[in-house]
Structure formats: structure tokens, C-alpha cells
Structure 1
């Protein structure tokens, strides 16, 4: 009886096929990208630049210690209260109505705050200073930043809905941003968005972390 020989499988091309499949999945697979926190860095000032004098009441000091405890103006605060506290500070509008060369420097005619003389004069003067500790967790830092951005967004939404006229009347800031994504070449829309941003400019200062 003849002996049957073992059949062999030619696997020479398997490596090529696996390599092609790997390339295919690398090319076609989409990955989530962490865009980080949007910040516009200031330009380097000239040599003889003298920084302006900033009133203490126009600065909201926020500190996050190494235990992830939140202190606002040296007082303990829960993260749930940070957004409203920020809104109250930005929207206070406690300045005295006056202009310098036609530019308003005091009163805010669109602010709905208490107009306290112990808080910010105007949204374009209100500065939020955030100082963390080297032991602060990344999650807590991001949570604080999100609450601050949410405060700005809420104020911008209100301003857009109540102050804009004409074609974009009644639209929120979020609606305008969404619309701009579909119409990036619309200069009139960009001008309206910039107007809303200028009403409540995002001025957040990150102080050097404590050790």
C-alpha cells in the first residue's frame, strides 16, 4: 500500500496579506483627538512697555490646592457654585459711565449684574486668575476650566439673543458658532461673532503653580 505524504500549505503569501490588512486598517481607522484647552498666548511686549494698573476688584482669584479644594477669593467653594460666581463677577458692570475718545471705559449698558463697587467695572476689564498647585489633579483643573468657559458661553448666549439685530436677531452664540462651521467664508457672520466675543472677552490668566 502506498504511503500518503502529508500535504503542505504554502504560507509564503500570508505575511504579505497581513501587512496589507494592517495598512488598510491604519489608513481607514479614525481616532479621537484631544484638542486641549483653547488659549491665545499674549505677544512679547516691547522693551519699554509699562503694564497697566489693574484694580484688585477687577480680578477674580481662583486657587486649587494640592487636595483639589477650590478657593475663590480665599474662601472655600464647591465646584457647582463656580459658574454662577464667575457670571456674577463678569456681569457686574459696576463702572461709572464715561468715555475716553469715544470708547466706553466704565458703565456696561448690557450687563445685568448688581453694579457693586466691590466687583468688576466692566466685562472687558474683568480678569480671572487661576492658580493651581503642582499636586492638583489634572481632572480638577480641567473641571474648573470647563466651569469658567461655561460662564462665558452663557453670558455670550444671552448677549447674542438680546442685543443682536437684523439677520441674526434672536440667535444664541452657540447657534452662530454652529452656523459659522457651515459657512466659514461669511465675513458678516464672523463680524457678528467677534462682536459677541468683544462684549464678554475671555480673559483668563494661569498663574504659575505653587509648590
Structure 2
């Protein structure tokens, strides 16, 4: 009895199938865009230029240690209280030049939002979660004041219009909105300084 020939598998269309699957996955897969912490770097300065001088009362110092504890202006503080303390510092209006500030006008605290700087220093062993939480609270303090002023001047919240402009969802005159956004940012500039992290125990 003669041996039957083994039937061959037709592999001619395998390349086409693989190509179609590749196209399918490329089209249907969504690539997530990671969002970082938005920070504007200072302009490049020549080496021989001295850094600007700030009065000590215009600097709000936030230290985070290796145990994720906050030391704010040399006092221990809970994270939940940080935002309100930062708002009080930024909105103080100590020198009387800020016409829109509603703070205590304490001469021992910041002069006005344009001169106020928040300085953050972390330990190298600070948890990333705590680091982000501190950043969120401080940015939220700036956004609170910006929302308040944009509501007073223009009748809308800074954060909502800024988000709509960033995402391309703004319905209206974008140039006019951007001018108003810039005006609010000039009134309450985000001056958040990050010092180099400390080594543990120092």
C-alpha cells in the first residue's frame, strides 16, 4: 500500500493576518499621556549674576522629613492645614500695596503675592506620595486665590477656564480669555521654589 503524501498547510495568508492584527491593535490601543507637575524653569542666568535677594518674611518655608512630617515655618503641621496656612501667607498684604489682598496685613509676614515665595525642601527618603500631596496643597493655595480674583473681576473661575483652554474645549474668544488668564497669573504669580533634597538625618 502506497504512503499518502502529508498535506501541506497553506501559510500564504499568515503574513496578511499578522499585518491586519497589527493594524487592529495599533488603531484600538490608547496610549496614555503622563502628566507631570507643571513648573516653569527660571531663565538661564550667567554665572557671575547674584541670585535675587528676598526678605526673610517673604519666604514661607516647608520642610518634609524622612518620616513624612511637615515642618512649616519651624512648627510641626498636619498636611490638612498646609493649604490654609499658605493662603494666609500669600494673601497677607503686609506692605499695603496689594489692593485685592484680604489677609491679616501682618507686617511680619509677606508683603504681597508678587513678593511671596514658598520654599519646599524634602528629605531624600520622603515618600513620593507625601511629596505629591504637599505640592498639590501648595498649588491649590495659589489656585484658590486665582479663582477668587477671576470670579471677582470676570465672573468665572480661573481653574475652569484654564483647563478648558488647555484641553481645547473653550467656547468663546480664546485670545481675550488668555489675556485675562495672564492678568490673574500676574496678580498671583506661582513662586514655588524647590531646594535640593536633604540626606536623612541632616
Q: What is aligned with 1:90?
A: 90
Q: What is aligned with 1:170?
A: 155
Q: Secondary structure at the match of 2:71?
A: strand
Q: Secondary structure at the match of 1:139?
A: helix
Aligned pair in 2 of structure 1 residues 9, 70: CA closer, same or farther (>3 Å)?
A: same
Distance in structure 2 (CA, Å) of the matches to 1:67 and 1:184: 48
Deviation, 1:5, is 8.5
Deviation, 1:76, is 1.2
Aligned pair in 2 of structure 1 residues 207, 109: CA closer, same or farther (>3 Å)?
A: same
Q: TM-score, normalised by structure 1?
A: 0.82
Distance in structure 1 (CA, Å) of the matches to 2:6 and 2:50: 89
Distance in structure 1 (CA, Å) of the matches to 2:103 and 2:148: 13
Which stretches in structure 2 are left out of the alignment for 5+ residues? none
Which stretches in structure 1 are left out of the alignment for 5+ residues? 98-106
Distance in structure 2 (CA, Å) of the matches to 1:195 and 1:21: 51
Q: What is aligned with 1:110?
A: 100
Number of equivalenced pairs: 196
Q: What is aligned with 1:120?
A: 110
Q: What is aligned with 1:201?
A: 189
Match of 2:177 among 175, 179, 189: 189
Distance in structure 1 (CA, Å) of the matches to 2:164 and 2:40: 23
Deviation track 1:137-180 (CA, whole Å, cap 9, x = no partner) reads 11111111111111111110000111x2xxxx311112322453
Q: Please, which moves more after superposition, 16-25 or 196-205?
A: 16-25
Q: Secondary structure at the match of 1:205?
A: strand
Deviation, 1:184, is 9.2
Q: What is aligned with 1:131?
A: 121
